[in-house]
Amino acid sequence: MDYPWHLYLLGSIYVFAGIMHFIVPKVYMRIMPRYLPNHKLLVNLSGLAEILLGLGLCFPETKNISIIGIILMLTVFLLVHFYMLRGKKEGAGIPKWILLFRIPLQFVLMYWAYSYLGM
Protein backbone atom coordinates (compact mmCIF):
# COMPACT_ATOMS: atom_id res chain seq x y z
CA MET A 1 0.00 0.00 0.00
CA ASP A 2 2.52 2.50 -1.19
CA TYR A 3 0.08 4.98 -2.69
CA PRO A 4 0.35 8.78 -2.66
CA TRP A 5 -1.32 10.56 0.23
CA HIS A 6 -3.87 12.19 -2.09
CA LEU A 7 -5.32 8.79 -3.04
CA TYR A 8 -6.03 8.20 0.64
CA LEU A 9 -7.50 11.70 0.84
CA LEU A 10 -9.84 10.84 -2.03
CA GLY A 11 -10.86 7.63 -0.30
CA SER A 12 -11.45 9.50 2.97
CA ILE A 13 -13.68 12.04 1.21
CA TYR A 14 -15.92 9.24 -0.11
CA VAL A 15 -16.02 7.43 3.22
CA PHE A 16 -16.95 10.69 5.00
CA ALA A 17 -19.60 11.53 2.38
CA GLY A 18 -21.05 8.03 2.68
CA ILE A 19 -21.22 8.22 6.47
CA MET A 20 -23.06 11.53 6.18
CA HIS A 21 -25.85 9.72 4.29
CA PHE A 22 -26.59 7.86 7.53
CA ILE A 23 -26.06 10.78 9.92
CA VAL A 24 -28.22 13.33 8.06
CA PRO A 25 -30.30 11.30 5.59
CA LYS A 26 -32.95 14.04 5.29
CA VAL A 27 -30.43 16.29 3.52
CA TYR A 28 -29.95 13.67 0.82
CA MET A 29 -33.62 12.68 0.64
CA ARG A 30 -34.56 16.32 -0.03
CA ILE A 31 -32.50 16.38 -3.23
CA MET A 32 -33.63 13.03 -4.61
CA PRO A 33 -35.46 13.37 -7.91
CA ARG A 34 -39.19 12.81 -7.43
CA TYR A 35 -39.32 10.29 -10.27
CA LEU A 36 -37.03 7.86 -8.39
CA PRO A 37 -38.72 5.35 -6.07
CA ASN A 38 -37.91 4.57 -2.43
CA HIS A 39 -35.73 7.56 -1.57
CA LYS A 40 -34.66 6.21 1.82
CA LEU A 41 -33.35 2.99 0.29
CA LEU A 42 -31.52 4.88 -2.46
CA VAL A 43 -29.91 7.27 0.04
CA ASN A 44 -28.76 4.32 2.15
CA LEU A 45 -27.45 2.40 -0.86
CA SER A 46 -25.58 5.40 -2.24
CA GLY A 47 -24.07 6.07 1.19
CA LEU A 48 -22.98 2.44 1.50
CA ALA A 49 -21.54 2.55 -2.04
CA GLU A 50 -19.52 5.66 -1.23
CA ILE A 51 -18.12 4.07 1.93
CA LEU A 52 -17.19 0.81 0.22
CA LEU A 53 -15.70 2.50 -2.84
CA GLY A 54 -13.73 4.93 -0.68
CA LEU A 55 -12.31 2.08 1.38
CA GLY A 56 -11.66 0.08 -1.78
CA LEU A 57 -9.30 2.78 -3.04
CA CYS A 58 -6.89 1.95 -0.23
CA PHE A 59 -6.19 -1.66 -1.19
CA PRO A 60 -4.32 -2.90 -4.29
CA GLU A 61 -6.82 -5.72 -4.88
CA THR A 62 -9.82 -3.37 -5.07
CA LYS A 63 -8.36 0.00 -6.09
CA ASN A 64 -9.03 -0.20 -9.84
CA ILE A 65 -12.55 -1.62 -9.48
CA SER A 66 -13.29 1.11 -6.91
CA ILE A 67 -12.08 3.76 -9.33
CA ILE A 68 -14.40 2.47 -12.03
CA GLY A 69 -17.22 2.29 -9.48
CA ILE A 70 -16.62 5.88 -8.39
CA ILE A 71 -16.68 7.12 -11.97
CA LEU A 72 -19.94 5.25 -12.64
CA MET A 73 -21.45 6.46 -9.37
CA LEU A 74 -20.55 10.09 -10.12
CA THR A 75 -22.06 9.71 -13.59
CA VAL A 76 -25.34 8.55 -12.03
CA PHE A 77 -25.17 11.39 -9.47
CA LEU A 78 -25.22 13.84 -12.40
CA LEU A 79 -28.95 13.03 -12.66
CA VAL A 80 -29.43 14.55 -9.20
CA HIS A 81 -27.36 17.61 -10.05
CA PHE A 82 -29.33 18.33 -13.21
CA TYR A 83 -32.61 17.63 -11.41
CA MET A 84 -31.71 20.23 -8.78
CA LEU A 85 -31.42 22.87 -11.49
CA ARG A 86 -35.11 22.50 -12.44
CA GLY A 87 -36.44 24.90 -9.85
CA LYS A 88 -36.27 26.40 -6.39
CA LYS A 89 -37.93 23.45 -4.65
CA GLU A 90 -35.78 20.88 -6.45
CA GLY A 91 -32.67 22.93 -5.65
CA ALA A 92 -33.44 22.66 -1.91
CA GLY A 93 -32.71 26.36 -1.42
CA ILE A 94 -29.10 26.02 -2.57
CA PRO A 95 -27.91 29.05 -4.58
CA LYS A 96 -27.99 28.44 -8.33
CA TRP A 97 -24.28 29.24 -8.75
CA ILE A 98 -23.39 26.41 -6.35
CA LEU A 99 -25.68 24.02 -8.22
CA LEU A 100 -24.03 24.99 -11.50
CA PHE A 101 -20.55 24.66 -10.00
CA ARG A 102 -21.29 21.12 -8.84
CA ILE A 103 -21.65 19.83 -12.41
CA PRO A 104 -18.08 20.51 -13.58
CA LEU A 105 -16.90 19.48 -10.11
CA GLN A 106 -18.29 15.99 -10.82
CA PHE A 107 -16.02 15.75 -13.85
CA VAL A 108 -13.02 16.94 -11.82
CA LEU A 109 -13.77 14.23 -9.25
CA MET A 110 -14.09 11.64 -12.03
CA TYR A 111 -10.73 12.67 -13.45
CA TRP A 112 -9.14 12.66 -10.00
CA ALA A 113 -10.23 9.04 -9.53
CA TYR A 114 -9.31 8.09 -13.11
CA SER A 115 -5.78 9.44 -12.65
CA TYR A 116 -5.01 6.56 -10.25
CA LEU A 117 -6.24 3.81 -12.56
CA GLY A 118 -3.51 1.23 -13.21
CA MET A 119 -1.08 2.74 -10.69
pLDDT at 60: 93
Q: What is the pTM of this model?
A: 0.89
pLDDT at 1: 58
Q: What is the dihedral of CA 34, 111, 9, 49, to 10 degrees?
A: 40
pLDDT at 83: 92
Query: Are the beta carbons of 18 and 51 closer than 8 angstroms?
Result: yes
Residues 9-58 have pLDDT tens digits of 999 999 999 999 999 999 899 889 988 999 999 999 999 999 999 999 99
Residues 61-119 have pLDDT tens digits of 999 999 999 999 999 999 999 999 998 888 888 899 999 999 999 999 999 999 999 87
Torsion sign, CA atoms 103, 104, 110, 113: negative
* DSSP conformational letter for 94: -
Distances from the Cα of 41 to the Cαs of 27, 58, 98, in angstroms?
A: 14, 26, 26
